[in-house]
Structure 1
Amino acid sequence: MIRVVVADDSAFMRKVLSDLFEKTPGFQVVGTARDGREAVKLVAKERPDLLTLDINMPVMDGLSALEVIMKDCPVPVLMFSSLTKKGADETIRALELGAVDFLCKTGGSISKIDAIESEIIEKCRSVAGAKINKSKINKNIFAKKQEAGNLRRINIFEKKGYNVAQPQTAASIKPQSAQEKLAASVQQHKQGLTGMMAKRDNPLLKKKAAPVYSSYSSSGSGTKLVALGTSTGGPRALQQVIPKLPGNMPCGMVVVQHMPAGFTKSLAERLNGMSQVTVKEAEDGEPILPGHVYIAPGGYHLTVTGNASKREISLNQDPPLASHRPAVDVMFDSVVKYGGDIVSVILTGMGCDGAAGMKKIKRAGGYVIAESDETCVVYGMPKSVVEAGIADEILPVGQVADAIMKRVRN
């Protein structure tokens, strides 16, 4: 029996969701909350298997409530979000704070909610089965700590041009935009300054510092390509991989994260702000450049075209594959032709999207990395790869970036 707490300031939504759970075998509603403060109290009292949480609520908003819950009494949380830019940004923040997944609000009619009842129940079952642990709650990569072992994060600040010797307010920290990073990258290649970021035109890049992986340079095979797929739990997992990649990574990376339209752009912007590589939502026809990460936009399949010397992004709206668009297998299938140049990665997620494509990549001579059960929020997609016997490495998510860099430099 999945015990549920429903938190929403809308009496309509509380009733609709409660009725849905009560009529579905295997679910029991143990409480409803009208605001974040009530949600915090109910979770502490009932210790539910699942909390459905609205973001915009009075007294205490959903994000504030989520932060308290994940710190003091962590439970699996499914967020309900609006289809707006602000809603997308808030949802990405919720996933950082520890929410397992999210659903978009449909707009206020019974018919619209009835149409996605099966999706709600499927998502709730998946979230309720996710592994939640206080130790898995991500801290912002820019958070300054006092421990002596945190020099690597200081290097990240210095790499971006911040003066870490002086106190700074949050408002004074302004990471480069994707456009600024792209301009710096183009300038770097023009000057042939491989292994360091261009400084001439950007005042933020006056100070030189060691990269995250100081032993790496941009030397290595320029024909390599990294292809990564993930789903439930992916945004937090990506924050433990992409920000660890050095800005001089000698190849590009394409990423499929199961997300609806509008949310992938917010995810890309968030990752770009905490990374040395340039992270952006992919655009149709753009070239794949070294030191760049391209995230498939929600609602579009991403494929890679061209030869080893000139690869490009191609987007399409072909039918969803196993209900996914973008689909990991569609992306993986498109890179099989590059054979041994491919480093493929599968991270946390429900289902088996990506396994079929990885089998083809493995047969073609590519390399396969799967996240291990110990760090997956949902051990579904990586499990299907591991059980197929095709994984070259099975690693906790914190070691994936290192493994990627070792392969792309070989």
Structure 2
Amino acid sequence: MSAPVRVVVVDDSLTMRGLISAALKRDPEIEVVGTAADPIEARAAIKALNPDVITLDVEMPNMNGLEFLEKIMRLRPMPVVMVSTLTAAGTDVTLAALEIGAVDAVAKPASATSEAFGELAAKVKAAARSRVRPRGEHATAAAPSNYQPDPRGVLAIGASTGGVEALLTVLSGFPANCPATVVTQHMPATFTKSFAARLDKACAPTVTEAEDGAPVMPGHIYIAPGGEAHLEVSPGSQPRCRLSRTEAVNGHRPSVDVLFRSVAALKRPMTGVILTGMGKDGAQGLLAMRQAGARTLGQDEHTSVVYGMPRAAHEIGAVERQLPLHRLTSAILDACAAAAQSPVSRTA
């Protein structure tokens, strides 16, 4: 049996530290080696205990969570899982933390019980296996000024753990007239509206949270609502967003597989991209897209925070090419152009 994941829990609330610690201690593969009430205590605990992962509250005394995270990523990069309130301010700070380099985030539950932290242990263990690099390593090239999208084409992107940073890197390089783009990012409910707003400010295209019935058009990027509904693209002369509140797939709603399978059914040029993430959601859907004539790309192992979803897709032959994150923007635009030049065929 491998050594347990060593964790330091950082939160200004004694009650919350106890709840998080209790939730983690129920997993035999995790050991809580220390707790801290603020960044000063946390810094001492990190030096003394050398944990594999820390959980970090976003709002703390003496130094806020973002300032402390910046220092960690600059001086001692290590896996960090953010624990956020469900307020708008907490959501915005958590998204900023994920952009800085936090591996993942969980929402503080409304009920004050350790059982409410259902996903925390799995996310902490995934964080321990993740690759954490200094901020800014993934700068992307600027978009070509002469890019012309195919008005018929659809680009579908799926991501999970590490996807906030990856999507920001990829999409910030898109031109204002980018391909019609639909995105499923595994994210808690209430986060995706703020995430779409942050992307909209950072990117040339218009980025919005997907709404049922919205036309899927070039120059627009649509983000699946987190934790609420699957995002699909309906067929027809004008493809549209379709939100379905059916059961979770691969443990997720929204599911990347659901999005990719819906796009695979479109009789039009299409491109699929799978980015960093834990698990295998999206692999079968991307294979369906490739079998239906799509061009498909995956993020490579070295630049993935968690090489789970891209690995699963690559191993079953769903990915034509794997590339490092900083090369994906131009490769995606090239793939969309290539998809427009080749006839869409269905082989599955």
Q: Same fold (TM over 0.5)?
A: yes
How far 1:45 sits from its partner (Å)? Answer: 3.3
Q: Deviations over 1:132-182 (max 9, x none)?
A: 122xx24898xxxxxxxx9x77xxxxxxxxxxxxxxxxxxxxxxxxxxxxx
Matches within 5 A, 1:136-285: 137-138=135-136, 212-214=143-145, 216-218=146-148, 221-249=150-178, 251-285=179-213
Deviation (angstroms), 1:245: 0.7
Q: Within the alignment, does 1:350 sit opposite 2:273 as a pair?
A: no
Between the aligned partners of 2:98 and 2:294, the Cα distance in structure 1 is: 31
Please give the per-residue CA displacement for 1:77-99, whole angstroms capped at 9, x wherever unaligned. 01100111111111100101110
Q: Which runs of 5+ in 2 are unaligned?
A: 339-348
As a proportion of its length, which structure holds more helix? Answer: 1
Alpha-carbon separation, structure 2, partners of 1:72 and 1:116: 29
1:329 corresponds to: 257
Which one-letter code corresponds to 1:114 in the other structure?
Answer: E
- What CA RMSD, in Å, does the superposition of the two structures yield over aligned residues? 1.9
Match of 1:48 in 2: 51
Label 1:140 to 1:36 Cα distance change in 2 as closer, same or farther (>3 A): farther
- What corresponds to 1:341 in structure 2? 269
Q: Which residue of 2 aligns with 1:15?
A: 18
Query: Relative to structure 2, which stretch is displaced further, 9-18 or 367-376?
Result: 9-18
The alignment status of 1:306 with 2:309, answered yes or no, reads no
Tell me, yes or no, if structure 1 residue 392 matches structure 2 residue 323.
no
1:407 matched residue in structure 2: 335
Task: Tell me if structure 1 keeps the 8 A contact 2:298–2:323.
Answer: yes
* TM-score, length of structure 1 as denominator length: 0.78
Q: Is the 8 A contact 2:151 2:217 kept in 1?
A: no
12 and 324 in structure 1: CA distance in 2 versus 1, 3 angstrom threshold:
same
Instruction: Summarize deviations over 1:182-240 as a string: whole Å, max 9, x none.
Output: xxxxxxxxxxxxxxxxxxxxxxxxxxxxxx313x332x532111000000000000011
Please report how far the alpha carbon of residue 339 of structure 1 lies from its aligned counterpart in structure 2 after TM superposition. Answer: 4.8
The superposition leaves residues 14-70 of structure 1 with CA deviations (integer Å, 9 ceiling, x where unpaired) of: 122223434432222222110122212322333210101111111111111111111
For residue 115 of structure 2, what is the amino acid of its counterpart?
D
Residues 302 and 315 in structure 1, CA contact (< 8 A), matched pair in contact too: yes
1:38 lines up with 2:20 in the alignment = no
Alpha carbons 1:300, 1:325 under 8 Å: kept: yes
Runs of at least 5 residues in structure 1 that lack an aligned partner in the other structure: 142-149, 154-211
The letter for the 2-side match of 1:313 is C
Q: How many residues align?
A: 334
For 1:106 and 1:68, how far apart are their aligned partners in 2?
Answer: 27
- The structure with the largest alpha-carbon Rg is 1
**Higher RCO structure, 1 or 2 (CA under 8 Å, sep 6+):** 2
**Contact 1:43 / 1:69 at 8 angstroms: preserved in 2?**
no
Aligned-partner Cα distance in 2 for 1:3–1:44: 13
Offset, 1:274: 1.0
Indicate how the Cα distance of structure 1 residues 405 and 7 shifts in structure 2: closer, same or farther if over 3 A, else same: same
Distance 1:12 1:370 in 2: 42
Asked whether the 8 Å contact 2:7–2:34 carries over to 1, the reply is yes
- Give the conservation status (yes or no) of the 8 Å contact 1:231–1:348: yes
What are the superposed Cα offsets for residues 97-149 of structure 1, whole Å, 9 maximum, x if unpaired? Answer: 11000110013522xx32444x2211211111111122xx24898xxxxxxxx
Contact 2:19 2:112 in 1 (8 A): no
Show the counterpart of 2:343. none
TM-score by length of 2: 0.91
Change (3 A) 1:242 1:402: same
* Residues 116/19 of structure 1: CA separation in 2 closer, same or farther (3 Å cut): closer
